[in-house]
Amino acid sequence: MARVRSRYAPDRGLTTRMVGTMFFIGLLYVVLVGILLAVLHGAWPFILIIVGGLFIAQFWFSDRIAAFGMGAREVTPQEAPELHGAVDRICALADMPKPRVAIAQSDVPNAFATGRSEKTALVCATTGLLRRLEPDELEGVLAHEMSHVAHRDVAVMTIASFLGVLAGIITRIALWGGLARNSRGNDPAGMIIMLIPLISAVVYALSFLLTRLLSRYRELSADRTAALLTGRPSSLASALTKVSGQMARIPTEDLRKAEPYNAFYFVPAFSSKESLGRLLSSHPTLEQRLDQLARISAGLSRP
């Protein structure tokens, strides 16, 4: 699942975390479905069909939905020669297939990658990013994004996030459908049905924490492998500093539109300094990322 078939440096820590996350996500998934089958045993075919359908839809279409939501529009080499040229150079360095290339019309300086595999991968940069970065900085950002594709962690995050989505849906169905109203006195079945929203909420919280912990590490891993691939950690550090600094100048309305997609972005967008998203961020802090790149730069400069 996380085997690297390119020149991106393998990351055993990332592989271990992805396997561990998928194991615990799978365990939570089995527990949740098992509870539903035990409580609503008469409707088990319906439950399995719905759950299976949601999983297939999440796995096959979530990347397209995310790309559409972020306004990604695929472009040809004639439409965006500089962006395609930068992607071509990274692909040559990494010895990996070229992903689809897209641009999002947004002043928020950012980039992201989606796709279940190298064959379905898409790398997108916003117009705000293209306007602000120098060519070597842009290559550093693109190398970071393509590291996500090479290490398969985009697909893992897509699958891992499914359980949280399912738990949220079950909670809403339980509340909107008034399942608790079906309980009578001390009826055990009714008591269990009343616990469905609570159990789903706990599963959602655990799923959220697991994916956040994985996401933070994978961002550091992508920074590290991109810096080693290009041999220019200072360019990536410069891009990080520049993009993070520019976020404060972006209108609040634009940041709010971008905030739901922070898990995909190169740098998270927050609509305010007090945003709860900062406490539950999918990314490590800027200081952590710059410190790592500084250590890599020092290591590369040693004779």
Task: Compute the average pLDDT of residues 123-134.
Answer: 96
Give dist(CA 222, CA 266) in Å, integer: 10
Nearest 5°: the CA angle 66, 71, 76 is 110
145 is catalytic: yes
3-state secondary structure of 203: helix
Least confident of 5-9, 118-122, 244-248, 285-289: 5-9
Q: Is 148 annotated as a binding residue?
A: yes
Q: Which residue has the higher pLDDT, 85 or 6?
A: 85
Residue 74 assigned to a binding site? no
Sign of the Cα torsion 232, 236, 239, 245 reads negative
Out of 118, 145, 259, 274, which one is annotated catalytic? 145
User: Which pTM value belongs to this model?
Assistant: 0.79
> What would the pLDDT profile of 171-225 be if each residue is shown by its tens digit?
666 555 554 455 444 555 555 556 666 666 676 677 777 777 788 889 999 999 9
| Long-range residue pairs from 10-13, CB within 8 A, at least 24 positions apart, any chain | 11/151, 11/221, 11/224, 11/225, 13/217, 13/221
- Which helix (H) or strand (E) covers residue 183, if one does? none
* 219 is an annotated ligand-binding site residue: yes
Helix (H) or strand (E) holding 126: strand 122-126
pLDDT, one tens digit per residue, over 136-169 is: 999 999 999 999 989 888 777 766 666 665 566 6
pLDDT in tens, 245-296: 999 888 888 888 888 788 789 998 886 665 555 667 888 999 999 999 999 9
